[in-house]
Amino acid sequence: MTPENETPEGDEPDALPPEESGADEGAEDAAEALPQGPTRCGFVALIGEPNAGKSTLLNRMVGAKVSIVTHKVQTTRTRIRGVALEGASQIVFVDTPGLFRPRRRLDRAMVAAAWTGADDADVICLLVEAHRGITEGVEEILKALDERVRKAPVALLINKIDRVRPEALLTLAQALNERRDFARTFMISAEKGQGCDDLKRWLAAQVPVGPWHYPEDQIADLPLRVIAAEFTREKLTQRLHQELPYQLTVETEAWEDRKDGSTVIRQIVYVGREGHRGIVLGKKGETIKAVGSAARADLRAFLDRDVHLFLEVKVRPEWENERERYDQMGLDFDGRKGR
Ligand SMILES: Nc1nc2c(ncn2[C@@H]2O[C@H](COP(=O)(O)OP(=O)(O)OP(=O)(O)O)[C@@H](O)[C@H]2O)c(=O)[nH]1
Ligand SMILES: [Mg+2]
């Protein structure tokens, strides 16, 4: 990944003129995609209850799978930045862990990371699930928004509109707008795409004028080894039941890009108990084998190269209380702030 703050062209892309924006590479139809007017760049935080569809939306906006998605709550554990372009705007979407009432240390670190994402954003998008409406969790988030967000505009995104009848949407939008003065309300389906183009165009106009933070072809700002570990955690979460997905973590231990064009990745799955190790391995190692091949397929697509993935499962009873594990995830051990 390319370091942050590296600009797409030279030192002063402040008002990136079209002829310096990569058009000179050749293709005539590239002219159509040239940024119009001064460049813009800013951070858009996606917040909401667990499972609201934040990561699904980030991936749609970026156009690639950057953040993992499962049908279970509390999938995302840290802030994940995905970069999207719209006209002359570079929009840095910040996916955050869901906001919920934390119980354990890991929960506290996750919720702190989510709020840090919101505090640092130019625009905040609050996702509310259309079919669930104003839950207790949504109420709490609205209250917290009132208390801590004063400057940044907050847009309301009613997500999963494919799951409800249109009449219900208007009532929900009205009720939420009575509760808070949102900068805009969008009805979207992050999964199916409805409303997402409008949302992206609007956000592109909201982010401040300024140079792009990332090179034109960068889509994520997260170390590759973390993305790789996340892909494996997604597959584990999809296959394991009850509390187990919440009681494990995955770390990339070794990464080797070989001359033959392939990459060798070694990862460790940390679990809290011996019994959990057996479940993660599965009968004759079937579960871990299936997880490995599904994760490898995602990694191949993401890296666009052949991948050899080796997974090891280790019992580490205290992993949730080890600072090192949080550092690896980009979380603050003390739950004060995120990355
Ligand atoms: N029907 C429908 N399902 C959706 C939509 N958007 C997301 N989902 C599903 O909702 C579930 C949760 O999606 P995620 O993107 O992981 O949600 P999240 O807000 O990132 O969840 P956490 O990381 O746990 O906070 C997944 O099963 C998605 O496929 C949508 O527009 N319509
Ligand atoms: Mg998520």
The span from the CA of 128 to the CA of 334, in Å, is: 29
What string of DSSP letters covers 212-249? Answer: -SS-TT--EES-HHHHHHHHHHHHHHHH--TTGGGGEE
Closest CA to 236 of 274, 268, 273: 268
DSSP strand pairing (40-48 vs 123-129): parallel
The span from the CA of 192 to the CA of 274, in Å, is: 41
Closest ligand 1 atom to 159 CA: 31
Instruction: At 286, give phi and psi (nearest 5°).
Output: -65, -40
The span from the CA of 83 to the CA of 26, in Å, is: 24
State the amino acid at position 278 in one-letter form.
G
The predicted pLDDT at position 35 comes to 58
Return the structure tokens found at 257. Answer: 């890009």
The predicted pLDDT at position 36 comes to 60
| Residue carrying structure tokens 């009848």 | 165
**How close is the Cα of 72 to the center of ligand 1, in Å?**
8
137 ligand 1 Cβ < 6 A: no
Q: What length is written for the chain?
A: 339
The span from the CA of 232 to the CA of 39, in Å, is: 37
Q: Is 277 exposed, middle or buried (0-12, 13-18, 19+ CB in 10 A)?
A: middle
**At 98, is the secondary structure helix, strand, or coil?**
coil
Instruction: At 194, give phi and psi (nearest 5°).
Output: -55, 135
DSSP 327: H
**At 315, is the secondary structure helix, strand, or coil?**
strand
Return the structure tokens found at 280. Answer: 């993660």
Is pTM beyond 0.85? Reply is yes
Domains in the chain (CATH in brackets) are 18-206 (3.40.50.300), 223-329 (3.30.300.20)
DSSP 97: P
Closest ligand 1 atom to 98 CA: 25
Decide: 221 and 84 in contact? Cβ < 8 Å: no
49 is in an annotated binding site: yes
The predicted pLDDT at position 17 comes to 35
Residue numbers in the chain where pLDDT is lower than 70: 1-36, 337-339
6 is in an annotated binding site: no
The span from the CA of 310 to the CA of 312, in Å, is: 7
Which residue lies with its CA nearest to atom 24 of ligand 1?
74
Alpha-carbon radius of gyration of the chain: 21
Closest-lying ligand to the alpha carbon of 67? 2
